[in-house]
Structure 1
């Protein structure tokens, strides 16, 4: 059976997917100071980081329309899957579901499933990899959905922020706390809840100490890690991502490691120097 995997643009694409017609990235749009930027292959990370730093307002994102998702679903593939940013962080999941319902009104026999990643960035990438693995193993549509939903339940997302300006601009960190954190070089270690919201797990003075604490939190959650893929994304800090990978591989065994640079939406969340890890 043929298949297609659609991932909203918060999820980074591994290189081999970019020329594979079975994969499609559906872009969100970003807004910085009134300028609209499409989160597609034309996204310029360095230029975007500079624009965010220069703008006093918080950057914002807008999810794809239901019609855009419907267009992506309307294909010849027998099995169609969509993976979206956590429904707690964006309207992308709801839009994807509405797009599915629109398609099913016209083609009720079409097999389409939308996965709420309850994550972001490379969390979505890993889910896309899991879907492909199930399809290549010959799983039925229903078996794939069941296995991937179970995989999402076991997934854990962690990230460390080096630049807290976006948190300050969007009101999640007061100006006073932001100034204190900057003065003391305090870096938060963040994670995802089972529902897909963001929570603070820890903090440390300095980015390297924060990374050490993040490693500790990842190792605590690393059950059966030898059967899993470790995915790391970074915002303009590849050396930091490699450092994190090496620190983790000293403590746990994994099946594979994937390191990717953040796309547009992930860049907006992580900001310059941010690192995301999903296992």
Structure 2
């Protein structure tokens, strides 16, 4: 059965995924002080971080239009899936759902399913890989939806950032008490809730301590980690990501670990030096 997986650009693709005909990216867009960026293969992280550092205003993002999703669903594949940013954090999920309705009005019936990742960044990557794994096992469309939904329910997302300013200013931290003890270099350990919003899990003095606490939390929460791929993504701090990978390997057994650089939207929210971990 032929299949296609549309991942919004908050989800980073591995090199193998980029080479594969099964995965495509629906690009979000970013605005930094009037400068327009499309989050696709042309995204230049260093230039972006330089622009953000010099900007007088916080960067803003916009999701793909329903029409854009509709165009991406219009292909030869019999099964089409979309994986989007958490519906609690972005309009991308609603846009992908509207695109499905538009497709049906325009072209008729097709097996299309939109997954709300309830996550972001490499959380979406892992969900897309899970869909592909199910397709390769030749499971039915309905079975795949059921299996992937169960996988999403068990998935946890964690992150430690140098700054939460962009998340805060763009209204992504609603309901979280102010925790910016910057003078003391306190770094909050953040995570996803079951519905896909953001919560605080703990904190540490400095990035190293906060990351140690995050990895301890990952170990505590993980459900059958030996059967799962753990993914790490970092914004302009490869050494930090490698240290995290070693820390995880020393403390728990996982099926595999992938480490990626943040694409545009994840770079915008993670900010310079931020790290995200999903399992």
- TM-score in terms of structure 2 length: 0.95
Alpha-carbon distance in 1 for matches of 2:74, 2:227: 34
1:43 deviates by 0.4
Tell me if the contact between 1:73 and 1:80 (Cα under 8 Å) persists in the aligned partners: yes
Supply the RMSD in Å over aligned alpha carbons. Answer: 1.5
Alpha-carbon distance in 2 for matches of 1:255, 1:7: 23
Alpha-carbon distance in 1 for matches of 2:2, 2:167: 42
1:204 deviates by 1.2
The answer for unaligned runs of 5 or more in structure 1 is none
Q: Find the counterpart in structure 2 of residue 84 from structure 1.
A: 84
The answer for unaligned runs of 5 or more in structure 2 is none
Q: Find the counterpart in structure 2 of residue 188 from structure 1.
A: 188
1:167 deviates by 4.4
Alpha-carbon distance in 2 for matches of 1:107, 1:168: 41
Q: Find the counterpart in structure 1 of residue 166 from structure 2.
A: 166
Tell me if the contact between 1:222 and 1:252 (Cα under 8 Å) persists in the aligned partners: no
Tell me if the contact between 2:154 and 2:223 (Cα under 8 Å) persists in the aligned partners: no
1:22 deviates by 1.6
Q: Find the counterpart in structure 2 of residue 224 from structure 1.
A: 224
Tell me if the contact between 2:7 and 2:84 (Cα under 8 Å) persists in the aligned partners: yes
- Determine helix, strand or coil for the equivalent of 2:89: coil
Alpha-carbon distance in 2 for matches of 1:71, 1:168: 33
Tell me if the contact between 1:186 and 1:206 (Cα under 8 Å) persists in the aligned partners: yes
Tell me if the contact between 1:160 and 1:190 (Cα under 8 Å) persists in the aligned partners: yes
Name the CA shift for 1:228/1:139 in 2 (closer, same or farther; >3 Å).
same
Alpha-carbon distance in 1 for matches of 2:167, 2:185: 15
Alpha-carbon distance in 1 for matches of 2:89, 2:49: 21
- TM-score in terms of structure 1 length: 0.95
Q: Does 1:68 align with 2:84?
A: no
Tell me if the contact between 1:191 and 1:198 (Cα under 8 Å) persists in the aligned partners: yes
